[in-house]
Amino acid sequence: MLYLNAAGLSPFHPDVQQTIADTLESFSHVLYSETGIDRYRSILQRSRETLANWLELDTADRLAFVPNTTTACRLTLSRITWKPGDTLLTTTHENSTILQELQTLKNYGAHVVSLDPDSSAGLLSAFEHALHQHSVRAIVVSHVSHLDGRIFPVEAIQQLAEAHHSLLFVDGAQATGHIPLSFRHFHPHAYFFPGHKWCSGPMGTGALILHQDGENLLTGSTLTKNHNASLPPDGRHCELGTQNVGLIAGLAKACSLKRQDGLRCQALKEIRDTWQSSIRKNARLRTIDTEEAQAPGILAFVCGDDPTAAAIRATGSAHSLAWKTFTHPSFPTCLSVRLSWNPYSSLSDLQTALSLFDTSLNT
């Protein structure tokens, strides 16, 4: 079987598995004794600091551990006092679970506006126009599109949000551990990501990073220009109940390995170039290219006819090649496919997968 990362789950590094097992075994001997509580808090704090150092956060206190991205999104949205007429801006490229969370805001009278990111300049123009037209409380946008891998201009969107005193929430599910990310000069009001995707950590883990004004956000306060009145952020206020210290230690270990080994963007890009070159040789396929920069580990393409679409579905089933089929907003009548891969995948494995792929489409 060939493994192509579906950008949904990455294989564990043996050191991550060992860290989870060792942490749980050690903690099982003390549990919630005084020693156990001290150890529990120490594990969480060390893990928090590991992630904060990797992401260049000014303080680890801004980071909260969450079980997944959807929970983090729901948590941040639920802490805002929504009023009838408030508008939330988003895009048509958001994950379905996030879109479901956004739709619930309509129960509070909020208005959800989804923008189609046809181009970087067009998206920024559309955001600016909507910010002028509506009373926008918040913007929710992915850092990297899970549909076609385009990298959204989140820092420019941050500037627009700040100019209009709107909150900015960024879904980093396809970005963290995939492309370079630093919070040294990037300050969204909330940034969240799971541990089990590009970070190669365990399922049931993730992180929520708060803005310096995060405490005002959590109490439902509106944004003001007087940052001196802001309370310092404390990620622990977002951690609901007891945390699984074994899994969190495993996430910290995975991120530590990412920091040591690097993101291997060049290896991802070489694989992408190989796939892209092969797909472009097939007249029945069309790669989805965008004006924006694209993440190196994701490639999307469109099928030009129904027989090709059927062959792709059959290939995925027959050869266990992991990919995702979907309807791209820019190509609503066609089947689109998103491929992604692990940076450690060898080119020989990819060539084998390509030969299966090409054979199925030419029969």
Tell me the per-residue pLDDT of 42-63, one tens digit each, with 9 for 90 and over.
Answer: 999 999 999 999 999 999 999 9
The closest of 231, 195, 196 to 211, measured between CA atoms, is: 231
CA distances from 256 to 143, 250, 277, 342 (A): 22, 10, 34, 17
Instruction: Produce one character per residue of 117-139: b if its CB has 16 or more CB atoms within 10 Å, e if not.
Output: beebeebbebbeebbeebebbbb
The closest of 336, 274, 312 to 147, measured between CA atoms, is: 336
What is the set of domains in the chain, with CATH numbers? 14-261 (3.40.640.10), 265-361 (3.90.1150.10)
The residues that bridge with 221 in the sheet, in sequence order, are none
Tell me the per-residue pLDDT of 266-323, one tens digit each, with 9 for 90 and over.
Answer: 988 988 888 888 888 888 889 998 888 899 999 999 988 888 787 777 665 444 456 7
Q: What is the mean pLDDT of the chain?
A: 86
| 304 close to 328: Cβ distance less than 8 angstroms | no
* Helix/strand/coil percentages in the chain, nearest 5: 45, 15, 40
| 254 close to 201: Cβ distance less than 8 angstroms | yes
DSSP 362: T
pLDDT value at 205 more than 60: yes
Global pTM? Answer: 0.91
pLDDT value at 4 more than 70: no
Residues 159, 36: Cα–Cα separation, whole Å: 45
